Structure 1
Amino acid sequence: MHSSSLTLRRFFCFNVSASASASTSSKKKPVVFLGSPQVSATVLDALLNSSASPNSNFEVAAIVTQPPSKRERGRKVLPSHVAEHALNWGFPSDLIFTPERAGEEAFLSNLRDLQPELCVTAAYGNILPTKFLKIPLLGTVNIHPSLLPLYRGAAPVQRALQDGVKETGVSLAFTVRALDAGPVIAYERVEVDDHIKAPDLLELLFSEGSNLLIRELPSIFDGSAKEKAQPQDDSKVTLAPKVTPEESWLSFDQEALVLHNKVRAFAGWPGTRAKIAVFDETNGQREILELKIITTRVSNRGNIQRNEDDDITFIKGALVIPCGGCSELEVLEVQLPGKKVVNADAFRNGLRGRKLKKL
């Protein structure tokens, strides 16, 4: 737990001018890192650790991240995960910048004062204007969690899982004004497990991306990365638009595999939700429950005969929901509004004999 004085120091020191603290070593190339969520901290760790090695020829001269925002269910305004992580490393608070927009002149002035050789972005979350991209001598490189030109956009991991891909990867590419369209320096392929969820896959890809970045830094610094970087094939572009809360509803008219992939893709945020009917046969009462569907699998019992009443049944460890195409979705974990996540057996016990039907 951080003290209130430390929290205040963090809030008031983010946007202090860097000019007073930009005394970087003349022997080391200044690199500026841009990132915001927890997965970005993996990349920051890799850069800080590599820069601290005896034979390193670069240093992290500054960090750029999103401004403090409401987190922990909106109760507190807190620094971004990357800002918090950097401060825990002992990184100078006056070299952590949190502009609302990356095109703000005061911020760009501070960035110019640092004279960065290279900028590195990893899930920064802000559009970089041309006047930003012109500042670093060697350009800006981005770690993107897909095999570009596939899944350009804000939600590459979620959309890839939603599509049920068996393979994805992470790309290291130069940043240009067009979204995720720059030449690709290198990439790493990753097999996708049938049950991995978006947060875990995202963490894995940024871990691989960190290794890729450190491996390719020498070629970026000596200029050979510019020569070997491959232009993207625009004919193969697919897009990964931002996920919206409205997409979180499940429709059991779709096949179980489609729904299972959606549950994996939207895990964490926004999650997946469904409405089911609860019947009490003793008094005939009917109630509609809204459930958050946490963990699923596709039933391997083969094709089934759809019962007329669309009953939701139970097997050990799962509630079984009939879906489109004579398929079944086995739901292993659920969450009621305001309650903790429970497994299917615990949920069944809470029904006290009442029956479930899909709507």
Structure 2
Amino acid sequence: MYSPSMLRRFFCFNAAASSSSIAPSSSTTTITSKKKSLVFLGSPQVSATVLDALFNASAAPSSSFEVAAIVTQPPSRRDRGRKVMPSPVAQYALDRGFPSDLIFTPERAGEETFLSNLRALQPELCITAAYGNILPTKFLNIPPLGTVNIHPSLLPLYRGAAPVQRALQDGVKETGVSLAFTVRALDAGPVIARERVEVDDQIKAPDLLALLFSEGSKLLICKLPSIFDGSAKVNAEPQDDSKGLICPFFLVERAKCNLNPNTRASMISPEESWLSFDEEALILHNKVGQEPELNSNNHNILELKIITTRVGSNDKIRDNDVHDIAFIKDALVFPCGGCTDLEVLEVQLPGKKVTSAAAFWNGLRCQKLKTL
């Protein structure tokens, strides 16, 4: 039994193992096996894609490894009911029947209790995929084969916490996913392999993120044999730091941002989430999912999250003020800088579901909208 303080700092889930699962039971994981021991670290839903690939690969008759433990973020309050729920990775592992006592959720990866339990498992290799916690040197020294991270960018481009959002903001036509050894410097370890992905003009950040982690899962399974036999470390490509400089991050009034793709992918700040319609439509199109302020004709300020957009064809007829928002065919037409138009197809009001531009416009009941 864990003490109350232990439960607070080192929470393990209790759930019955599913008889139909391919995941190992607690009894089988304690038996000495010739298979190499692997520990997986991840938290959000995209990480569960990687864990699924590892479970399936480890169950193959020819597999040389087993998933010995899972490390994920502690339970948190989510959804409308604000219930305390395990991370998506933890929930997925439990649903697969993975032993609850081998799902570790330390608040920090440097906690001695957690590190002691990890050492006891004697993992050969650790795999991280959007874990969301800094790994200290004491952790990195535990697995003899090292720690390998799946990062959703073509390293050294877009190092940091928001690589997909930054790539879309910059309007890149190509991005990708990288397998790299983890070192103390941020996303700066030697690269094992990369997979390139074309960026569709209409793709949104969550969809692109899911695609990259799906491709990253396939790349990982393909490269695991070379990681386990040590050849991947020998052949890994050192990153060119001159192309991955962590440059100072800056904000300009009303969230105008000009980041070079070779800089660190800083997290999106609250101030930066607001759109400025002084910018051209193409730039704003690359920032879909962020929030502009609108001014209705009764002087109310309206916060509106833009979900889906396309760049206008510039053949729309504008009436009245250049700040007026019009509805033409199936889209809200926002006047932008450089005499361009941004056509908005889906929006979301605070606390409401995503709705079409037509439904939103009909709900205004003849009120006019202006950009601020």
TM-score using structure 2 length: 0.86
Secondary structure, aligned partner of 1:136: coil
- Report the residue type matching 2:12 in the other structure: C
Deviation at 1:351, TM superposition (A): 1.8
Q: 1:286 to 1:126 in 2, by over 3 A?
A: closer
2:293 corresponds, among 272, 275, 280, to 275
* Residue 371 of structure 2 is aligned to residue 354 of structure 1: no
The 1:211/1:77 distance shift into structure 2, 3 A limit, reads: same
3-state secondary structure, aligned to 1:262? coil
The answer as to 2:280 corresponding to 1:258 is: no
The aligned residue for residue 244 of structure 1 is 269
Counterpart AA for 2:291:
R
Residue of structure 2 equivalent to 1:43: 50
Matched-pair contact (CA < 8 Å) for 1:143–1:209: yes
CA contact (8 A) 1:51 1:58 kept: yes
CA 147–28 in structure 1, closer or farther in 2 if over 3 Å, else same: same
Unmatched runs of 5 consecutive residues or more in structure 2: 1-6, 15-25, 245-262
Q: In structure 1, what is the Cα distance between the partners aligned to 2:360 and 2:282?
A: 23
> Partner letter of residue 212 of structure 2?
L
Give the structure 2 partner of residue 139 of structure 1.
146
How do residues 1-359 of structure 1 correspond to structure 2 at under 5 angstroms?
A: 13-14=12-13, 23-73=30-80, 75-237=82-244, 238-263=263-288, 267=289, 272-279=290-297, 285-301=298-314, 308-359=321-372
Q: Partners of 1:123 and 1:306 in 2: how far apart?
A: 47
Separation in 2 of the partners of 1:129 and 1:302? 56
Cα offsets for 1:8-36 (capped at 9, x unmatched):
9xx96349xxx998515421000000000
What's 1:5 paired with?
A: none
Q: Alpha-carbon deviation of 1:244?
A: 2.1
The one-letter amino acid of 1:147's match is L
User: Retained in 1: the 8 A contact 2:11–2:74?
Assistant: no
Deviations 1:138-159 (A, max 9, x none): 1110000000000000111111
The farther-off stretch of 73-82 and 202-211 is 73-82
Alignment size in residue pairs:
335
Q: Residue type of the partner of 1:296?
A: T
Cα distance in 1 for residues equivalent to 2:309 and 2:86 = 34
Deviating above 3 A after TM superposition, structure 1's stretches of 4 or more consecutive aligned residues are 11-15, 19-22, 302-309
Q: Which moved more, 1:160-169 or 1:305-314?
A: 305-314
Superposition deviation, residue 137 in structure 1: 1.2
Letter in 2 for 1:253: D
CA spacing shift, 1:304–1:253, aligned 2, 3 Å: farther
**CA displacement, residues 67-119 of structure 1 (integer Å, 9 cap, x when unaligned):** 11111147111111100000000000000000111111111111111111100
Contact 1:141/1:175, CA 8 A, preserved across alignment: yes
Aligned partners of 1:304 and 1:327 also within 8 Å: no
Indicate the larger mover: 65-74 or 172-181: 65-74
Cα distance in 1 between the residues matched to 2:184 and 2:363: 54
Structure 1, unpaired ranges of 5+: 1-7, 280-284
Structure 1 Cα separation of the partners of residues 286 and 222 of structure 2: 33
CA distance in 2, matches of 1:31, 1:339: 42
Secondary structure of 1:82's aligned partner: helix
